[in-house]
Amino acid sequence: MCAEQVTHRRARCAIQHASPVTHGAPCDAGFTLVEILAAMLILAFGVTTVLGVMSSGLATEHNSELIRDAARLATVVREELEHGSLMPQDGQAPVPIVGGRVAEFPDMQYDLAFDPVERESTQEIACTVTVRWLRGGSDVSETFRFPLPRSRALYLRIRDEIERSRQR
């Protein structure tokens, strides 16, 4: 290219950049292949990061729903225990339950155990409800502890039954 053509081309590019409407051949402005690849790499990294955050957020939400359901199941067991539907009608203390189910939570099982409170001044029995479910093929559990109501008759029945089972 001669010097006159280079000058003419620069002048044409300057006119094209100055005016909003361009005519003729484009000037040398643009992106190189390396710049485009770098921009695509940054975009891919950003999209991957956003998708990873969304995926872990959904997994956390699902886990919190399962733990919430386990707490609701433990509350149902506690209410059934307090209102007597889990209590034997013959006056005996309740027996521990392994693998119990509640219709509202078909994918969960619970274990119910009773532990005496060591302080003599209290009239409480500590109940332990362990709720189990499967997550990803592995057994997951949450344990909830609560005292039974301060009913003297209930406390005596449970304490007597625990003492009888220890003597056997």
Cβ neighbours around 145 below 10 Å, total: 12
Strand 138-147 and strand 109-116: pairing?
unpaired
Can you say how many angstroms the Cα of residue 117 is from the centroid of all Cα atoms in its chain? Answer: 33
Q: Is the pTM of this model over 0.75?
A: no
**pLDDT at residue 152, as a whole number:** 46
Q: Which residues 6+ apart lie within 8 Å of 14 measured at CB? A: none
Can you say how many angstroms the Cα of residue 110 is from the centroid of all Cα atoms in its chain? Answer: 20
**pLDDT at residue 134, as a whole number:** 86
Radius of gyration for the alpha carbons in the chain, expressed in angstroms and rounded: 36
Q: How far is CA 80 from CA 90, 121, 151, in A?
A: 17, 26, 15
Query: How far separated are the first and last CA of the chain, in Å rounded?
Result: 109
**pLDDT at residue 126, as a whole number:** 81
Q: How far is CA 162 from CA 73, 91, 99, in A?
A: 25, 14, 20
In the numeric block, which tokens belong to residue 57? 């957020």
Domains of the chain, by residue range, sit at 50-167
Q: Which amino acid is at 162?
A: I
CA-nearest of 102, 99, 103 to 132 is 99
Please list the pLDDT of the chain residue by residue as tens digits (168 residues).
Answer: 555 655 656 656 555 555 555 555 556 678 899 999 999 999 999 999 999 999 888 888 888 888 999 999 999 888 888 776 676 555 556 678 888 888 888 889 999 988 766 665 566 678 899 999 988 788 888 999 988 755 545 555 676 778 788 887
Residues 18-32: b if buried by 16+ CB within 10 A, e if exposed = eeeeeeeeeeeeeee
**pLDDT at residue 137, as a whole number:** 80
